[in-house]
Structure 1
Amino acid sequence: MAEEPIKIFRQGMPLFSVFQDENRQQIIMLLCDHKSLTVNQITDQLELSRPAVSHHLKLMLDAGVITFKKVGKERYYQVSLDETFQYLKDLTTSLENSISSN
């Protein structure tokens, strides 16, 4: 078994964990559809409580798939997927190299 793809998979576990939840998938799609949204704006569009949305946003911040900009007392959340895209490219390349070397 090739070690490089396994190593890359392990590095991406937090990312996979974040995206396995349907609520976080919905939040990411909302943020993709809009430039940025506050917790209240996200809550208004989902059937989740404000604390639940805040919890999901924290996990997504920790995984690096979103960022926020503070304007006054409000935080405006937005997608930040450049590192995620690079990770997926690296994983794909590593898997392709592993397959072709067999």
Structure 2
Amino acid sequence: MEPHEPDLTDVPVTTVLTALADDVRLKIVRALAEDGEATCGSFDFGVSKATRSHHLKVLREAGLTRTRAAGTSRLVRLRRDELDRLYPGLLDAVLSTHNSA
């Protein structure tokens, strides 16, 4: 069963901004913006597996990412085109800010 991924038109911009306000989630979004797609387990930002899963779920439910099964792995990618179409310049602005890590 594939995880729920909302239609971005149903997601308020405040939900997107709240998801991006967390440092770990912002690091995940930055990594996806650079790499395109990654396995869920490839994000190692000093948090537990359960915490990482929570952050990935928040990003998915905020409409920022898509997750797909690939064998026993889950691949995550940024919904960049959709986000840029609905919220022009938002990701560019967020990603251009200084990385606090």
1:15 positional shift: 0.5
For the residues of structure 1 that align with 2:12 and 2:64, how far apart are their CA atoms? 14
The aligned counterpart of 2:67 is: 68
Higher helix fraction (1 or 2): 1
For the residues of structure 1 that align with 2:87 and 2:29, how far apart are their CA atoms? 17
1:41 positional shift: 0.9
Give 2:23's aligned amino acid. E
Identity %: 23
The aligned counterpart of 2:83 is: 84
1:83 positional shift: 2.6
1:80 positional shift: 0.8
Give 2:29's aligned amino acid. I
Are the structure 2 counterparts of residues 88 and 52 from structure 1 closer, same or farther at C-alpha, using a change threshold of 3 Å?
A: same
Q: In 2, are the aligned partners of 1:39 and 1:50 still within 8 Å (CA)?
A: no
For the residues of structure 1 that align with 2:12 and 2:54, how far apart are their CA atoms? 22
For the residues of structure 1 that align with 2:87 and 2:19, how far apart are their CA atoms? 14
The aligned counterpart of 1:17 is: 18
- Structure possessing the higher radius of gyration over alpha carbons: 1
For the residues of structure 1 that align with 2:80 and 2:32, how far apart are their CA atoms? 11
For the residues of structure 2 that align with 1:11 and 1:40, how far apart are their CA atoms? 28
The aligned counterpart of 1:52 is: 51
Secondary structure (helix, strand or coil) at the match of 1:75 reads strand
The aligned counterpart of 1:33 is: 34
Give 1:54's aligned amino acid. S
TM-score after normalising by structure 2: 0.69
TM-score after normalising by structure 1: 0.68
CA RMSD of aligned residues (A): 2.2
Q: In 2, are the aligned partners of 1:65 and 1:80 still within 8 Å (CA)?
A: yes
